[in-house]
Structure 1
Amino acid sequence: METITNRAELKNAVRLLEIEQGIKGRELKEQFQKAYDSLKPVSIFKSITKDVVSSPNLIGNILATTISLTTGFYTNKIIVGTSAGIMRKLLGSVVQSGVTAFIARHPEALTSAGKFISQLITSRKKRDPLTMQT
């Protein structure tokens, strides 16, 4: 910065600083308004909804979670049955949580098992009942 030597240069420097202060003040107000608007509940809900909808694996994750919970539930029902003792119920709960956790971590195992079973079913339908050949 240059050294100010007279009154005119001082007034000019003050005017430039005032203009700069006004510009920075307007920028600060705009930034504050943007931050205020982004913290409104409607804006937060919109951004969360946009993130959820744009997530590519959302449907797959929901489906895998639903399948793992359902499989665990049915495994428990198969082990426990309609009426069982306390040990059988405890064993059913342990197996249910184990199956649910396994399928949640490895959904591809359930998918491959489902494909294998469907291939077995469709291959039996294709066989000729008289010769038992494909």
Structure 2
Amino acid sequence: MKKIDLEAELKVAILLLESKQAEEEKMLKEQFHLTYESVKPINMIKNTFKEVVSSQDLKEDFTTTMFGLTAGFLSKIIVEKITRNPLKKLVGTAVMYSVRKAIVNNPEAVKLFSQFVLKHIFRKKEMNTAKS
């Protein structure tokens, strides 16, 4: 910093430093407020939830798992509706877990199969509307 000789220059320099100090104080208070808000437990939970919801991998894993559970449960219901035998109900439970495990472990195969089925369903609908 250069040497100040005159009283007027000294006053100007003091005013500049005071305004700089006030600006830095304001910025520091804003940063403190932002930090304080981000450390609140509810905000931490919200931010974590937003990150989880926005994760594409998690969405795909959740969808695959739900599809597997649903398919397994439906297969169990179908097997149990066919028979009232307790042994066959046990087989129904085993089928449910097997279907669920197969779907969860092979999501790409399930996705390809679903696309294949949907493609053929829509193709048949298009053919029927074209014939009409």
Name the TM-score class by shorter chain: 0.5 to 0.7
What's 1:109 paired with? 109
What does the per-residue CA deviation read over 1:45-86, in whole Å, with 9 as the maximum and x for residues that have no partner? 134224313422232222111111110011111222165211
Percent sequence identity over matched residues?
29
CA contact (8 A) 2:77 2:92 kept: yes
Pairs within 5 Å for 1:18-97: 38=39, 41-81=41-81, 83-97=83-97
Distance 2:122 2:51 in 1: 41
Structure 1 residues 86 and 43: alpha-carbon distance in aligned structure 2, compared to 1, 3 A threshold:
same
Q: Offset of 1:123 from its aligned partner?
A: 3.5
**1:8 matched residue in structure 2:** none
- Aligned mates of 1:121, 1:53 — CA distance in 2: 32
**Contact residue 64 and residue 107 of structure 2 kept, 8 A:** yes
Contact kept? 2:72, 2:100, Cα under 8 Å: yes
TM-score (norm 1): 0.57
Please name the residue that 2:124 is paired with: 124
Residue aligned with 1:84, SS: coil
Distance between the aligned counterparts of 2:48 and 2:123, measured in 1?
46
- Structure 2 gaps of 5+ residues are 1-34
In the alignment of these two chains, the number of paired residues is 97
Which residue type is aligned with residue 117 of structure 1?
V
Q: CA deviation at 1:110?
A: 1.5
Unmatched 5+ stretches in structure 1: 1-33, 130-134
Structure 2 CA distance for partners of 1:116 and 1:50, relative to 1, 3 Å: closer
- Give the RMSD, CA atoms, in angstroms: 3.3
